[in-house]
C-alpha cells in the first residue's frame, strides 16, 4: 500500500532549488545524500543543474517514469503541479509546501482546490504543510529533515512536523532506529488510517508510533486500529482538545462525556496503547521495538544498589506488574555465588561491588526461573563496575532468551556509551527505573489485549420499525425532545420495564390514579420545557395517602408556576414507587468524531460529584459492556459490599447493549439517558424510572 511513497523507482523534486538552506535544496540533497538508488529528477524552470543533476523545466519534461513527486513550489502553484503529476501518471505526491488550511481562509480555499485537483488527477497526497517522508530501508529521505535515522523497526507518523524533528533529533543522538518517518501535515488526502494500514503491512515495521491531535473519521480510525492492534503494537500520543462535549449539554451524559471520553473509549476499544507524554511515547516505542512481550505480569528486578531497587519496586506496585517471589532453586543458585549480605529475593540486590560477571551470573540465574516473565536490570555506575562490560553481558543473555529484559543504567556521564551498546543489541535502556517499569507494564497490558478472544456482539430483535413513527413525528413537529408518553413507548418497545404510570390533569385525577396504581406513589410534573424536574421541585416521592397525593399535586403545580411561569404544564404523572434497588445512569451521547457513545455510571448525586462514569463507542460488544460496568470505581457497590446482595449486573449489561442498538437504529439521537435506571437484586432485572431523548437533524 502507498508503495510509491516509500519505495519509488524514481523521484521528481518539483521546486528543487539551487540555494542551500532553501527547502527545495535540502530535500534534493537529502534524497541524494542518504543513498537513494533510483533516478532523481529535479524540476525547476529556472535552473540547469543542481547538485550535479540535470534539472527539468517542468514535470512534463522529465524523460523517465516517475514514482514519487515531492512538491515544494509556492502554494498557489501546487494545484497546477499536481495536475501535471496526474498527466504524467504519478500517483504519489508529498506536498511540503505550507500556506494551506493552517494559514487561514485563503489557504483553506487553496487546499480544497488542491484536493479536488488531486482526486481528478488520480494523485494521492501526503501533506501539504509537512516535513516529508523517510524510509530507512529503501533509503528514501524525501524530507527537509536535518538527518536520517538508523534503520530500525519503528514506523512513526505525526500530525506535527515539529514532533518529527524533535523525535528525529533525539533518535540521531541515541542511535535509535526507525523504519519509516511520515510527517502528515494537514492530512488533506492521506489520513492517519491510510498510513497506519501501510505501516501494518510493512515488513520492516514492528511497532507503529503516532502523534495525533484529532482524526478525520473516528469510526474508520477505530476499525483500522482494531484490526492492526492485534498484529502490531500501535502506540499513540493524542494531544489537543476535542471540540465535542464542550458544547452546552442538556443531559448529564453530555456533560459527563467531557473532552477526552471519546478518544479514551476509542483507544480502549481498539487496543491502541496510549502514551501520555512525549517521553512515554519514546519509552514505549523502545521497549516494543526491541524486546519480546512478557507472557505475564511477573517481573524480577536485579540491582547493584538498594535505593533504585526500592524505587523500581514501588513503581511495580503502582502498575499491573508483580514482583514475583523467586523459586527456591533460583534463590539457592543465587546463594552459591552472591555475597552473603546480598538480597536473594526480589528485587535481587547484588550489591555495590558487583562486577559485570556478577551481573551476568545473576541475570542468567534469574531468567532460568520460569515464573519470571520479564526482568528489569538496574545499574548505578559505581567505581568497581565495568559498565560497558555489564551492558554486553546483559545484551548477550537478552539475545538468547524470549522474555523481555529492560535496563535502567542510571546517571549519564558514565553510562552513555553502554546505553548505546545496549541499544545496539536491542536492549532498551532508560534513565530512571520508573521508566523501565512503566514500559514493561505497557507491554504486559498489550499482551493481555492480544490474548483476548475476539469481541462478540449481541443480536437483538429488529425493533426499529416499531417506533420509527415516533421519531418521525418528533422531527415533523420540529421538536427536539420526545414527550413523556413517547419516551415510554420507545423504552417499552425496546424491552425496558417501567413503573406503572398514569397521567393526571387535576388533583382528583391524581388521587384516582394513585388508587389504581397502589400506594406508595411518585408524582412528577409533565411539561415539555422542564428537563430536570427534580431541580425545581417537580418530583415528589413516597406519597402514601389520598391527602398526600392531593397536597403534592397542589405543591408541585404551584411551585412550577412560580419558578417557570412560562412553562406549559400538561399535568402530572402518577407512578408506582419501586422500592429497593440501586440507581444507575445509562445514556447515549454523540461525539463529533466518533459518533454515538454509551455512558454508564452509578446514579444519584454520586455520578455528578464523583464523575465516576465510563464510556464506549457504539456498537458495544458484550465485552465492552462488561468492562465499562466494571471499570467504574463504584462497581463494588453493585457487586454488594458488607453483606449486601448483588445487583443485577447482567441486566445492566443488557440495557447498555440495547442502548447501543437504539443508537444504531436512530442516528438522529443526540442525547438520551435513563436516569435513574433502578437495578434490582441479581436475577430481578432493572426498571427505567425516568428517561429523556433529544434528537437532531440527522
By CB under 8 A, what part of segment 221-260 binds a second copy?
Answer: 237, 239-241
Interatomic CA distance for residues 220 and 218, integer angstroms: 6
Task: Give least dist CB 455 to a second copy, A.
Answer: 29
From residue 665, give the alpha-carbon distance in Å to each of 497, 529, 585, 606. Answer: 20, 26, 21, 31
Nearer to a second copy by Cβ, of 340 and 453: the residue is 340
Task: Give least dist CB 214 to a second copy, A.
Answer: 10
At CB < 8 A and 24+ separation, what contacts does 435-438 make?
A: 435/279, 435/283, 435/408, 436/312, 436/376, 436/378, 436/406, 436/407, 436/408, 437/299, 437/312, 437/315, 437/316, 437/319, 437/321, 437/376, 438/280, 438/283, 438/315, 438/319
Q: Which of residues 277-306 bind a second copy (CB under 8 A)?
A: 277-279, 304-306
Nearer to a second copy by Cβ, of 218 and 538: the residue is 538
Nearer to a second copy by Cβ, of 13 and 663: the residue is 13
Q: Which of residues 310-329 bind a second copy (CB under 8 A)?
A: 310-311, 314-315, 317
Nearer to a second copy by Cβ, of 355 and 621: the residue is 355
Task: Give least dist CB 99 to a second copy, A.
Answer: 8
Residue 667 interacting with a second copy (CB under 8 A): no
Task: Give least dist CB 380 to a second copy, A.
Answer: 4
Task: Give least dist CB 581 to a second copy, A.
Answer: 15
Nearer to a second copy by Cβ, of 581 and 595: the residue is 581
Q: What is the DSSP letter of 536?
A: G
Complete DSSP assignment for 643-676: TPPPB-HHHHHHHHHHHHHHHHH-TTEEEEEEEE
Task: Give least dist CB 147 to a second copy, A.
Answer: 7
Complete DSSP assignment for 422-434: HHHTT--B-SSHH
Interatomic CA distance for residues 29 and 169, integer angstroms: 18
Task: Give least dist CB 191 to a second copy, A.
Answer: 17
Q: Which of residues 411-440 bind a second copy (CB under 8 A)?
A: 411-416, 431-435
Q: Which of residues 80-119 bind a second copy (CB under 8 A)?
A: 98-99, 102-104, 107
String of contacts with a second copy for each residue 334-353, x by CB under 8 A: -------x----------x-
Q: Are strands 582-591 and 669-679 parallel, antiparallel or unpaired?
A: antiparallel
Residue 535 interacting with a second copy (CB under 8 A): yes
Nearer to a second copy by Cβ, of 263 and 446: the residue is 263
String of contacts with a second copy for each residue 141-170, x by CB under 8 A: ---x-xx----------xxxxxx-xxxxxx
Nearer to a second copy by Cβ, of 39 and 310: the residue is 310
Complete DSSP assignment for 476-511: HTT-SB--HHHHHHHHHHTT-----EEEESSHHHHH
Instruction: Give the count of residues interacting with a second copy (CB under 8 A).
Output: 82
Torsion over CA: 113, 114, 116, 120 (sign): positive
String of contacts with a second copy for each residue 456-495, x by CB under 8 A: ----------------------------------------
Nearest to 184 by CA among 272, 107, 96, 279: 96
* 494 CB-near residues (< 8 Å, 6+ apart): 463, 467, 658, 661, 662
Task: Give least dist CB 179 to a second copy, A.
Answer: 20
Which residue reads 461525539 in cell numbers? 591
Task: Give least dist CB 95 to a second copy, A.
Answer: 16
Nearer to a second copy by Cβ, of 297 and 309: the residue is 309
Nearer to a second copy by Cβ, of 516 and 611: the residue is 611
Q: Among residues 60, 173, 246, 468, which is the contact residue for a second copy, using CB under 8 A? A: 173
Q: Cis omega (within 30 of 0) on the bond before 311?
A: no
Q: Are strands 582-591 and 322-323 parallel, antiparallel or unpaired?
A: unpaired
Question: Which conformational region is residue 518 in: left (phi greater than 0), alpha (psi within -120 to 50 degrees), or beta?
Answer: left
Q: Which of residues 623-662 bind a second copy (CB under 8 A)?
A: 633-634, 636-637, 641-644
Nearer to a second copy by Cβ, of 138 and 613: the residue is 613
> What is the CA 276 to chain-centroid distance, rounded?
10
Cell of 158: 505525526
Around Cβ 469, how many Cβ atoms within 10 Å?
A: 11
Using the contact rule CB under 8 A, the part of the chain among 48-56, 376-384, 458-466, 505-513 near a second copy is 376-384
Residue 307 interacting with a second copy (CB under 8 A): yes
Nearest to 130 by CA among 191, 201, 86, 41: 191
Task: Give least dist CB 322 to a second copy, A.
Answer: 15
Number of H helices, E strands in the chain: 24, 29
Nearer to a second copy by Cβ, of 330 and 632: the residue is 632
Q: Are strands 234-238 and 273-275 parallel, antiparallel or unpaired?
A: parallel
Task: Give least dist CB 694 to a second copy, A.
Answer: 20
Q: Which of residues 17-76 bind a second copy (CB under 8 A)?
A: 21, 23, 26
Interatomic CA distance for residues 493 and 490, integer angstroms: 5
Nearer to a second copy by Cβ, of 341 and 400: the residue is 341
Total length of the chain: 698
Task: Give least dist CB 103 to a second copy, A.
Answer: 4
Rounded to 5 degrees, what are φ and ψ at 177? -90, 150
Interatomic CA distance for residues 135 and 38, integer angstroms: 13
Nearer to a second copy by Cβ, of 160 and 244: the residue is 160
Q: Which of residues 593-622 bind a second copy (CB under 8 A)?
A: 605-606, 608-610, 612
Cell of 315: 513503581
Around Cβ 272, how many Cβ atoms within 10 Å?
A: 26
Q: Which of residues 187-226 bind a second copy (CB under 8 A)?
A: 211, 213
Task: Give least dist CB 429 to a second copy, A.
Answer: 13
Task: Give least dist CB 335 to a second copy, A.
Answer: 14
Amino acid at each position: 500500500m502507498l508503495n510509491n511513497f516509500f519505495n519509488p523507482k524514481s523521484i521528481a523534486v518539483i521546486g528543487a532549488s539551487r540555494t542551500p538552506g532553501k527547502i527545495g535544496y535540502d530535500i534534493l540533497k537529502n534524497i541524494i545524500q542518504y543513498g537513494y538508488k533510483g533516478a532523481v529528477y529535479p524540476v525547476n524552470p529556472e535552473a540547469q543543474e543542481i547538485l550535479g543533476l540535470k534539472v527539468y523545466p517542468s514535470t512534463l519534461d522529465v524523460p523517465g517514469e516517475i514514482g514519487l513527486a515531492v512538491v515544494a513550489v509556492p502554494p498557489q502553484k501546487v494545484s497546477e503541479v499536481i495536475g501535471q503529476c496526474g498527466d504524467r501518471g504519478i500517483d504519489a505526491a508529498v506536498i511540503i509546501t505550507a500556506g494551506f488550511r493552517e494559514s487561514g481562509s485563503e489557504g483553506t480555499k487553496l487546499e480544497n482546490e488542491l484536493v479536488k485537483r488531486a482526486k481528478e488527477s488520480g494523485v494521492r497526497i501526503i501533506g501539504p504543510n509537512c516535513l516529508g517522508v523517510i524510509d530507512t530501508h529503501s533509503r528514501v529521505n524525501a524530507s527537509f529533515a536535518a538527518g536520517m535515522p538508523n534503520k530500525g523497526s519503528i514506523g512513526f507518523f505525526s500530525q506535527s512536523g515539529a514532533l518529527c524533528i524533535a523525535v528525529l533529533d533525539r533518535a540521531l543522538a541515541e542511535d535509535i532506529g526507525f523504519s519509516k518517518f511520515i510527517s502528515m501535515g494537514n492530512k488533506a488526502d492521506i489520513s492517519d488510517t491510510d498510513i497506519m494500514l501501510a505501516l501494518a503491512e510493512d515488513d520492516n515495521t514492528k511497532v507503529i508510533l503516532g502523534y495525533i491531535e484529532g482524526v478525520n473519521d473516528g469510526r474508520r480510525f477505530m476499525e483500522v486500529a482494531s484490526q492492526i492492534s492485534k498484529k502490531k503494537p500501535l502506540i499513540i500520543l493524542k494531544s489537543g482538545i476535542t471540540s465535542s462535549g464542550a458544547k452546552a449539554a442538556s443531559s448529564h451524559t453530555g456533560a459527563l462525556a467531557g473532552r477526552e471520553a471519546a478518544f479514551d473509549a476509542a483507544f480502549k476499544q481498539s487496543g491502541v496503547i496510549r502514551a501520555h507524554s512525549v517521553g512515554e511515547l519514546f519509552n514505549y516505542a523502545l521497549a516494543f521495538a526491541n524486546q519480546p512481550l512478557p507472557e505475564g505480569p511477573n517481573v524480577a528486578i536485579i540491582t547493584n544498589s538498594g535505593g533504585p531497587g526500592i524505587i523500581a519496586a514501588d513503581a511495580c506496585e503502582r502498575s499491573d506488574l508483580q514482583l514475583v517471589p523467586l523459586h527456591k532453586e533460583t534463590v539457592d543458585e543465587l546463594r552459591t555465588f552472591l555475597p552473603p549480605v546480598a538480597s536473594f529475593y526480589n528485587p535481587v540486590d547484588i550489591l555495590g561491588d558487583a562486577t559485570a560477571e556478577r551481573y551476568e551470573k545473576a541475570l542468567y540465574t534469574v531468567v532460568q526461573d520460569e515464573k519470571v516473565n520479564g526482568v528489569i536490570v538496574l545499574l548505578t555506575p559505581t567505581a568497581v563496575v565495568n559498565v560497558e562490560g555489564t551492558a554486553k553481558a546483559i545484551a548477550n543473555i537478552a539475545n538468547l532468551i524470549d522474555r523481555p529484559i529492560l535496563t535502567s543504567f542510571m546517571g549519564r556521564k558514565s553510562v552513555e556509551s553502554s546505553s548505546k551498546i545496549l541499544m545496539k543489541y536491542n536492549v532498551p535502556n532508560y534513565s530512571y527505573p520508573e521508566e523501565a517499569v512503566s514500559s514493561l507494564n505497557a507491554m504486559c497490558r498489550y499482551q493481555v489485549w492480544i490474548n483476548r478472544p475476539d469481541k462478540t456482539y449481541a443480536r437483538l430483535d429488529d425493533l426499529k420499525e416499531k417506533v420509527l413513527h415516533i421519531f418521525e413525528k418528533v422531527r415533523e413537529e420540529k421538536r427536539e425532545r420526545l414527550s413523556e408518553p413517547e419516551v415510554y413507548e420507545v423504552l417499552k418497545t425496546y424491552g425496558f420495564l417501567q413503573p406503572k404510570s398514569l397521567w393526571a390533569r387535576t388533583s382528583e385525577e391524581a388521587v384516582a390514579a394513585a388508587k389504581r396504581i397502589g400506594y406508595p406513589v411518585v408524582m412528577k410534573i409533565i411539561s415539555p420545557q422542564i428537563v430536570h424536574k427534580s431541580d425545581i421541585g417537580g418530583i415528589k416521592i413516597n406519597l402514601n395517602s389520598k391527602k398526600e397525593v392531593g397536597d403534592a399535586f397542589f405543591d408541585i403545580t404551584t411551585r412550577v408556576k412560580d419558578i417557570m411561569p412560562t412553562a406549559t404544564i400538561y399535568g402530572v404523572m402518577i407512578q408506582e414507587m419501586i422500592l429497593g434497588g440501586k440507581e444507575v445512569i445509562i445514556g447515549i451521547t454523540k461525539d463529533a468524531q466518533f459518533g454515538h457513545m454509551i455512558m454508564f455510571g452509578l446514579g444519584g448525586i454520586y455520578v455528578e460529584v464523583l464523575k465516576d462514569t465510563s464510556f464506549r463507542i457504539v456498537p458495544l460488544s458484550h465485552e465492552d459492556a462488561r468492562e465499562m460496568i466494571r471499570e467504574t470505581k463504584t462497581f463494588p457497590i453493585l457487586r454488594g459490599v458488607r453483606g449486601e446482595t448483588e445487583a443485577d449486573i447482567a441486566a445492566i449489561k443488557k440495557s447498555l447493549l440495547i442502548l447501543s442498538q437504539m443508537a444504531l437504529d436512530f442516528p438522529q439521537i443526540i442525547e438520551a439517558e435513563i436516569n435513574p435506571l433502578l437495578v434490582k437484586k441479581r436475577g430481578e432485572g432493572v426498571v427505567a424510572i425516568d428517561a429523556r431523548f433529544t434528537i437532531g437533524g440527522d
